[in-house]
Amino acid sequence: MSRGNRGQDVFLNDADRRWFLKKLTNLRKRSDFRLFAFCLMTNHFHLLIQVQRVPLSAIMQRLLTGYARHFNHQRKKSGHLFGARYTAVQCKNDSQLSAMLRYIHLNPVRAGLVEDPAQWPWSSHGEFVGSNHVPVHVEWEMPLSVFHPDLAAARRAYDLFVQGALKGAQEDAVVAPQINELPLLNSRPAGLDRQVRAGGDLPGGGTRNLDDLCQEIAVSAGLTVEAIKGESRCRKISVARQILVRRAVGCGYRPSRIAAFLGRSDSFVAKVLWRIGQ
């Protein structure tokens, strides 16, 4: 992530964003890295990339310098466009990957620019839900596969994972203390750092686990945990299972983990996710 110098805007219009993405595309051909996700805001941007033979520092130096020259030339300006050194956070596992995807794609929502990430054209969210394509090649297949091996089920699970945060089922969080987007969050005091808190499947342990979640749902429904994890197909128990699946996905658990908890196949959870979306 890189932000404008002293918080200044680095993208003043869509033409700026298109030029940046074109530069990113050309740079990838020469610098051999994989682009998994991105989001261009007004005064900063996020990239989720995997470096290969060219180090990250070289990639970012070429990208930031090239874009700053273009930006200043277009406006007959000089000086620094971007602030201090870019911020980089290493992604260490699938759970952190899913948290990063959600964090990046929800930036426009947290900034109050749109109500749904699908409404923001300058991120890769549309590629993940299959609603639109962006003017830069994004390798969405690999990160999407962490949600489910089947593409349709993976898209549905990813969308529910993101929508879970939008609906308040889970407080969305910054993926590392070095990243502080709080100036964009008018409802939160500036200077507050937050850690990933997206459930027991995510780094740091989270604030919820599947046992507690299932117990809570069972008590609310007047059922037992054993009944929810059992074989009964009565409507009351089936609805409780659906609620568990939806809330667990919203808390950051992968469908395969939820299936294992319930003692069922991945396809069972995929069908539940599909059914919820109808």
In a domain, 243, yes or no: yes
Please compute the mean of the pLDDT values over residues 103-115 and round it to a whole number. 91
Check whether residue 229 and residue 178 sit in a common domain: no
CATH number, domain with residue 17? 3.30.70.1290
Check whether residue 166 and residue 221 sit in a common domain: no
- Kindly report whether the global pTM for this prediction surpasses the value 0.85: no
Check whether residue 134 and residue 17 sit in a common domain: yes
In a domain, 9, yes or no: yes
Q: How confident is the model at residue 276 (pLDDT cuts 50, 70, 90)?
A: low
What's the total number of domains in the chain?
A: 2
Query: Which range has the worst mean pLDDT, 126-135, 180-189, 256-265?
Result: 180-189
More confident residue, 54 or 277: 54
Nearest to 175 by CA among 122, 99, 239, 263: 99
SS3 category, 243: helix
Check whether residue 43 and residue 131 sit in a common domain: yes
Query: Which range has the worst mean pLDDT, 63-67, 261-265, 269-273?
Result: 269-273
Instruction: Give the separation between CA 232 and CA 237, rounded to whole angstroms.
Output: 7
Domain that includes residue 85, residue range:
2-184
In a domain, 180, yes or no: yes
% of the chain exceeding 90 in pLDDT:
41
Check whether residue 268 and residue 178 sit in a common domain: no
Question: What confidence score (pLDDT) does residue 32 get?
Answer: 86
Check whether residue 71 and residue 172 sit in a common domain: yes
Query: Which range has the worst mean pLDDT, 7-21, 57-71, 88-102, 179-193?
Result: 179-193
Spell out the residues 6+ positions from residue 212 whose beta carbon is closer than 8 angstroms to its own.
none
CATH number, domain with residue 246? 1.10.1750.10
Check whether residue 129 and residue 220 sit in a common domain: no
pLDDT at 145 over 80: yes
| Average pLDDT along the chain | 80
Instruction: Give the separation between CA 82 and CA 63, rounded to whole angstroms.
Output: 11
Question: What confidence score (pLDDT) does residue 179 get?
Answer: 29
Phi, psi of 58, deg, nearest 5: -70, -40
Instruction: Give the separation between CA 239 and CA 40, rounded to whole angstroms.
Output: 39
Whether 227 and 110 have beta carbons less than 8 Å apart is answered as no
Check whether residue 237 and residue 124 sit in a common domain: no
Q: Which residue has the tokens 């979306």?
A: 277
Check whether residue 215 and residue 177 sit in a common domain: no
